[in-house]
Structure 1
Amino acid sequence: MEGPGAPGGASPGVIGADYRGTVPSDLGEFLRNRRGEVRPDDVGLPIGRARRVPGLRREEVALLAGVSVDYYVRLEQGRERNPSAQVLDALAETLRLDDDARQHAFRLAGLAPRPVSTRREQVSPSLLQLMDGWPGNPALVLSRCYDVLARNRLGTALFHAFTHSDNLLLNVFRDPAARAFYADWQYAAVNTVAGFRLATGSAPDDSRTLAILDELRATSPEFRQIWARNQARGKSAEVKTFLHPEVGRITLRMQTFDVREAPGQQLVVYHAEPGSTDAQALALLGSIAATREQVT
């Protein structure tokens, strides 16, 4: 295993060296949080009776990752500022990080390029045209910091109850309609925060990202508690149930796609099981949206 403090005293690897910089203290906090979520028996260690921590001890992580205890302690404390890609790979394996969490750890360590563009985000006309061609599927385009950049007619109708802002994360925590809209608000909140952390990890100093975090830290104790868990997990294929004020309970499958021509943007598309009551509710929602559009 390469890396300072590893057996043999090898020097750090060169993978990702072009992007290596100062390791933010967030990396140590992230490792510490993840360490607390791995049980000893998850990695083949005995639980024992005298454990004072819910997860792994630092000594155990160091042993399993093949680095010295002193080196790992310095990583968690932020005193070690140049972990190699090999060291992070070993820690990711030890801490059982999934692909999203592993990617987030590498970004925190400065081992992935970070976009520097400050241009205003826009959605391409071709993507807008594609979304409009899905009259039976709610569709949204999210920015890296979860601002809703575009939506089709049914996407607007699905989230019609939200009036606080055009930001998904702010709406989950700040809009009074959110708790009545999501059948499982807690689950939605945790997933949204984890996705936001992962998405914004490549540009943590972005002014819009910092403004959203400042607002939520100042106004939402629940957000502060969930944010402190340090979970990073992208949107994936999943099932969501909404309690829509106009069509009632509706369960939809959600698919998320990265927009290749605009890195950081995500296309989110919902669909109902064909022939189901959810499909009927979605069709009714489409009729309501069309009528509302004609009136206005």
Structure 2
Amino acid sequence: MPTKLGDFLRARRARLRAEDVGLPFDARRRVPGLRRSEVAALAGISTEYYLRLEQGREHQPSDQVMIALGRALRLDDDGVHHLTRLVRRGTPVRGQQRPSAPQEVDDSVLALLEQWENTPAVVLDACLDVLAANALASALVPGMFRQGANLLVSVVEGAPHAGDLESLWYDQAALIAAALRFHGNPDDPRYIEIVSRLCERDARFAVIWELHDVKALVSGVVHIDVPAIGWTEIPWRILNVPRSPGQLLLVFWGDAGSPARVVFDTLALRVAIARDDAVVESGLTGVAPGARDLDEAGSIV
């Protein structure tokens, strides 16, 4: 019976060529990637032992075996972390597991988000669901950073289907898919729901997911079609929220005078104007208005 561990091992060895690991090229090779025996030899274990791992029949390999397998499969630290977690299912590793119950964001973190009037910031859980976002983040990509939205779903389902933007979309979708595999708990019903939904609805995502890439969200640059401004490169950084396992703080930033900073200043002004208008409207009608749309929805790739 296929297992998540077996799927991961098979996918990773299938992506390696013999010459990638110092083995001679063989034109008669009939299987893609490395053979089980070759991975086992590179890791210094028996082929039978490796087969038991791939079939999910071995549950107590040592740390040394995990490190050796990671080296044989050319995994980085994130990949070895994921491999170890798949082997030792049910045992939290590095605090990345997502609780089953909905998470609440600490009041102090919410207050911090609101005080960052010129810095878009979002709190995500381990499945990359949005738990909270400040006004500037909501204005940056309307709809994507609303509470309850999912970062991966928003990117995949907002995908372009032709032209140069499709390549940018692919890179972002692959990045966030790898992040879900790293941060999320593969046994979490929400995790399973997200992956099943996207694989069923988008064949391109299904191909991305089957690559079994694993990468923690740390930092990078995203291309965002900002409403009424246009496409802008905006740097971002992830911080872990202290004492809130699995919660990630996504912060967008830009140096003074950079296009990103110009975008933030412009959006901050729009947010302030919208807030002032709402206060005036509330005073005139005596009824607090609902949230106003600042502009047409933007895109992110």
Q: TM-score range by the shorter chain?
A: 0.7 to 0.9
- Structure 1 residue 116: deviation in Å? 7.9
Matched residue, 2:156: 173
User: Could you give the per-residue CA deviations for residues 185-207 of structure 1, whole angstroms, max 9, x where no partner exists?
Assistant: 1111111111111111xx32223
The residue identity in structure 2 corresponding to 1:94 is A
Q: 1:230 aligns with which of 208, 212, 215?
A: 212
Query: Secondary structure, in 3 states, of the residue corresponding to 2:214?
Result: coil
Q: TM-score normalized by structure 2?
A: 0.80
Instruction: Quickly say closer, same or farther: Cα 1:178–1:249, change in 2 above 3 A.
Output: farther
Matched residue, 1:240: 222
Quick check: 1:162–1:175 contact (8 Å CA) kept in 2?
A: no
Matched residue, 2:11: 33
Counterpart Cα distance in 2 of 1:183 and 1:135: 33
Counterpart Cα distance in 2 of 1:73 and 1:204: 22
Matched residue, 2:266: 284
Quick check: 1:182–1:188 contact (8 Å CA) kept in 2?
A: no
Quick check: 1:183–1:242 contact (8 Å CA) kept in 2?
A: no
Moved more, 256-265 or 77-86: 77-86
Q: TM-score normalized by structure 1?
A: 0.82
Instruction: Quickly say closer, same or farther: Cα 1:76–1:121, change in 2 above 3 A.
Output: same
Counterpart Cα distance in 2 of 1:238 and 1:103: 21
Structure 1: 4+ residue segments shifted above 6 A: 176-183
Counterpart Cα distance in 1 of 2:242 and 2:18: 40
Corresponding position: 1:197 with 2:169: no
Query: Secondary structure, in 3 states, of the residue corresponding to 1:291?
Result: helix
How many corresponding residue pairs?
272
Corresponding position: 1:261 with 2:239: no
User: Could you give the per-residue CA deviations for residues 130-173 of structure 1, whole angstroms, max 9, x where no partner exists?
Assistant: 22232222111101111100111211111215499611111112
Residues 14-29 of structure 1 aligned to structure 2 (within 5 Å): 25-29=3-7
Query: Secondary structure, in 3 states, of the residue corresponding to 1:205?
Result: coil
Matched residue, 1:62: 40
Corresponding position: 1:71 with 2:49: yes
Moved more, 100-109 or 170-179: 170-179
Q: Which runs of 5+ in 1 are unaligned?
A: 1-22
Matched residue, 2:190: 208
Matched residue, 1:139: 121
Query: Secondary structure, in 3 states, of the residue corresponding to 2:246?
Result: coil
Instruction: Quickly say closer, same or farther: Cα 1:150–1:161, change in 2 above 3 A.
Output: closer
Counterpart Cα distance in 1 of 2:161 and 2:262: 23
Counterpart Cα distance in 2 of 1:89 and 1:137: 40
Counterpart Cα distance in 1 of 2:262 and 2:235: 15
Moved more, 150-159 or 128-137: 128-137
- Structure 1 residue 63: deviation in Å? 0.8
Corresponding position: 1:218 with 2:200: yes
Corresponding position: 1:121 with 2:103: yes
- Structure 1 residue 37: deviation in Å? 2.3
- Structure 1 residue 73: deviation in Å? 2.2
Instruction: Quickly say closer, same or farther: Cα 1:90–1:223, change in 2 above 3 A.
Output: same
The residue identity in structure 2 corresponding to 1:129 is A
The residue identity in structure 2 corresponding to 1:196 is L
Counterpart Cα distance in 1 of 2:208 and 2:98: 28
Counterpart Cα distance in 1 of 2:230 and 2:78: 34
Matched residue, 1:49: 27
Instruction: Compute the RMSD of aligned alpha carbons.
Output: 2.8
Query: Secondary structure, in 3 states, of the residue corresponding to 2:171?
Result: helix
